[in-house]
Structure 1
Amino acid sequence: MSSLTLYTPAGVLAKSQPLKRAAKRLGQLGFEVEIDADALARHQRFAGDDATRLAALHRVAEAAPSVALASRGGYGLTRLLDQIDWALLARAVERGTRWVGHSDLTSLHLGLLAHTKLRSAEAFGLWAGPLACDDFGREEAEGGVDEITRDCFVEAMQGLLEAVGFRTEAGFDGLHARGTLWGGNLCVLNSLLGTPHFPKIKGGILFLEDVNEHPYRVERMLLQLAQAGVLQAQKAVVLGEFSAWKKSPLDRGYTLKSAIAAVRERCPGLLILTGLPFGHVPTKVCLPVGAKMDLVVQGREALMIWGPDPAHHQHAHDCDEACSHEAEHEAKRPSSR
């Protein structure tokens, strides 16, 4: 049974019930769950003051559970970045810990890439994936646990997930790019530009998502990355979900599609794919941050592969089946969900 610790490194939990519900459900999935002593701490909008959250983060690293799953994101890790013992967190990865989450956890993942030698991610210790309360703590009346999110998480934590697939736009048929997978929340990633916590990755595959950001803000942040030379240094950019933004009467036909088109126009030759099932939405895949991976497109079917031998993966599949690992296949190729 894999040990799993729930901790809260950023925003405060308004209620304890979602955390307890998540712990119960994760236990039913076969994990030996422990809730960190300060997971429900409160200080203003944070899960305890900075010292409390930093101590919790270091405490989890010292214990080195199989899985360190953040209860939620929000805001708060930026306050800790200059004080984190990155070597301690890296040693936890070496001992088998998988640090899982998204949103504000982007800064933790990217900080580890920037400050340590985990870029090759041989142990797959950094995973962009679910958050405990958001994804495993929802009441059944609110939708409960998404099956794809659950299955991808379990398979990733078991070391069985080798690829995820999704349907993208037309025009990328035949694409095959290989590089380091990195990224996460667009706003958080941009906030690290110019700091020691921003990894200098060239020839990578950058994935991005965000929530509550109008398309013009998404465009502005993408152009900032382009003007800083980050986008052009990548093999490809893969966009996930940009959810929960509100239209404005000033838009006059301007949409997220318009924003992406504007970035493409200003970055000729840059490959920007859309459709990745990841972000602040119920259905999300798990992605190994820092791992070497192949991005393959056939028709409109895209496949992101990080298994032991990408040559074995003959076809790209729909995201509906991307999380199903078929161990009986000779090629060890996961089917899509």
Structure 2
Amino acid sequence: MTSLTLFTPSGVLAKAANLNRAAKRLTQLGFEVSIDADALARQQRFAGDDATRLAAIHRIADAAPSVALATRGGYGLTRLLDQLDWGRIAHSVEHGTRWVGYSDLTALQNGLIARNPGRKGGLSMWAGPLACDDFGRSEAEGGVDEVTRDCFLEAMSGALEAVGFRAPTADFDGLEARGRLWGGNLTVLCSMLGTPHWPKVKGGILFLEDVNEHPYRVERMLLQLQQAGVIDAQAAVLLGDFSGAARSPLDRGYGLKDAVAALRARTKTPVLTGLPFGHVRTKVCLPVGGTVELYVQGREAIVGWQSDPRLAHDAHDHAHDHHHH
């Protein structure tokens, strides 16, 4: 059985019910689930004070379960970046641990890339579900999204080798790009710029998402990355979901499309939209830090990679089964 540990590195969990529901569902899906001792710790808006959360991450790194799945995001990893023992996390990765999550987990995942600029080998960081958000919802709140669940199961079994999505237009028909996949939450990523935790990825495939940020704020952060030389240095940019912000009466028609257009006008790097990822119910799993290939045919885009040889004993080509993702 695949061992899976649930931990809370950032924001406090509002109620234990969602955590218990997630643990039960993940057990039913075949994982050997354990909940970190401090998963429900509380201090202000955090899941325990900094020392508590830092110790939890180090404890999990030392135990090296197959999967370390964060219960939720929020805010809190930024406080820990300077104190984290990255060597211990790297050690867990060498023992096959996959660190999974999104949102605030962007800080942990990209901080590790910063320290492993040429890392080869297994797929160890996954932008994917969070336990309480994606597996802890009650049936009344809509339960578990099937695509999110299936994609996660396939990724953790080592069988997932590609995700496909449909771009809104065929502007990038014929595009092919190959590079290191990195990125995640746009706000968290921008907060790392200029710090020792920033991954200096060139020729990569950068994916971005955010929630509750007005389109002008999204544009401002995208242009910060472009003006810092980050966007121009990439092979491609994939934009996921940017929903949740209230429109302003001052917008006068301005919206996310205009924000994307402003970025495209300033870079030669292809900027694709439509990636099914972000603070949304249906999300794919993406191997952060892994080398991926991007192919676009008409409006159909595929992001593919080599599955982890340590897990997938019968590697078969999954690339074309994923248009529903």
Same fold, TM-score > 0.5, yes or no = yes
Contact 1:129 1:153 in 2 (8 A): yes
Structure 1 equivalent of residue 198 of structure 2: 198
**Aligned match of 2:152:** 153
For residues 242-272 of structure 1, give each alpha carbon's deviation from its aligned partner in whole angstroms, at most 9, with x where no partner exists.
01111110000001001100111122x2200
Instruction: Give runs of ≥4 in structure 1 deviating > 2 Å.
Output: 116-120, 331-334
Match of 2:143 in 1: 144
TM-score, normalised via structure 2 length: 0.95
**Per-residue CA distance 1:43-76 (angstroms, 9 max, x = gap):** 0100000000000000000000000000000000
- The aligned counterpart of 1:2 is 2
**In the alignment, structure 1 residue 255 sits paired with structure 2 residue 255:** yes
Return the offset for 1:307.
2.6
**Whole-Å Cα distance in 2 between the matches of residues 236 and 23 of structure 1?**
37
Question: What one-letter code is carried by the residue in structure 1 that aligns with 2:197?
Answer: H
Q: Which runs of 5+ in 1 are unaligned?
A: 309-324
User: Structure 2: 5+ residue runs without aligned partners?
Assistant: none
Instruction: Name the structure 2 match of 1:24.
Output: 24
Aligned-partner Cα distance in 2 for 1:2–1:84: 26
Instruction: Find out whether 1:298 has 2:297 as its counterpart.
Output: yes
Checking the alignment, whether the CA contact within 8 Å between 1:50 and 1:80 is kept in structure 2 is yes
Distance 2:130 2:299 in 1: 29
Matches within 5 A, 1:23-172: 23-116=23-116, 119-120=119-120, 122-168=121-167, 169-172=169-172
Say if 1:112 and 1:118, in contact at 8 Å, map to a contact too: no
271 and 328 in structure 1: CA distance in 2 versus 1, 3 angstrom threshold: closer
TM-score, normalization by structure 1: 0.92
Q: Which amino acid aligns with 1:208?
A: L
**What residue number does 2:231 align with?**
231
Residues 118/84 of structure 1: CA separation in 2 closer, same or farther (3 Å cut):
farther
Deviations 1:91-116 (A, max 9, x none): 10010100000000000000001123
Alignment of 1:171-250 (within 5 A): 171-250=171-250
Aligned length: 318
Return the letter of the residue paired with 1:335. Answer: D
The 3-state SS of whatever aligns with 1:233 is: coil
Map Cα deviations across residues 150-175 of structure 1 (whole Å, 9 max, x no partner). Answer: 00000000000000000012211110
CA distance in 2: counterparts of 1:232 and 1:194, whole angstroms: 17
Alignment root-mean-square deviation, CA? 1.5
By how many angstroms is 1:119 displaced? 3.5
Superposition deviation, residue 333 in structure 1: 3.9
CA contact (8 A) 1:162 1:334 kept: no
What is the percent sequence identity of the aligned residues?
Answer: 71
8 Å Cα contact 1:161-1:334 kept in structure 2: no
SS at match of 2:107: helix
Contact 2:187–2:221, Cα closer than 8 Å, also in 1: yes
